[in-house]
Amino acid sequence: MFQQNNLKMSNEREEALNDFKEQLEKLKDNNKNQIQLITLIADDHSQYAEDIVKIVINHIKEAPSELKLYGVYAMDSIIKFPTGTFKEKYCRLFGNEIVELFVDTFKKVFMIGLCFFSIAQSLHLLIIGSVAPRILFIDG
């Protein structure tokens, strides 16, 4: 019985993460509805937050330059979604990676840097002990 429950939980996890990844991969423009759907899936499956954060970070890192910003918009939406423990969990998990991710992405997509600056400013208010301002003082 225990093994069956474990298998069922594993299948549910795999399905949830695959669904999340598929929806994230469909994001090819600043589509508010698609970003909201991605955010809701992340909310519904916040028990897999560590995996979801890894998927988003890998998506942003691997996306072509012209699509990176949309992945950042999805991350921004997930972080800002207005529910208590969900928000704190994602803020903490993304907060561990956000400086490296922003620096790497900013270097690759310099022309849209002002959009990143705007997001970094808004995230600064949300991430406890924020590291986002460090982005502004990086030497080349």
Q: Does 133 score more than 90 pLDDT? A: no
What is the per-residue pLDDT for 103? 83
Render pLDDT for 101-125 as a digit per residue (tens, 0 to 9): 888 887 777 656 667 677 777 776 6
- Dist CA 133 CA 140 (whole Å): 16
Q: Say whether pLDDT at 127 is over 50.
A: yes
- 42: tokens are 């992340």
Q: Which of 9-13, 34-38, 75-79 shows the highest mean pLDDT?
A: 34-38
Query: What mean pLDDT is predicted for residues 30-57?
Result: 95
Average pLDDT, the chain: 81
| List of E strands, 38-95 | none
State the Cα–Cα distance between residues 37 and 125, nearest whole angstrom: 24
State how far the Cα of 75 lies from the Cα of 78, in Å rounded to an integer. Answer: 5
Q: Examine the pLDDT at 82 and tell me if it is beyond 70.
A: no
- CB-hemisphere CA count at 13 Å for 86? 16
In order of their start, the domains of the chain are 2-137 (1.25.40.90)
Evaluate if pTM is beyond 0.85: no
- Please give the share of the chain, as a percent, with pLDDT higher than 90: 46
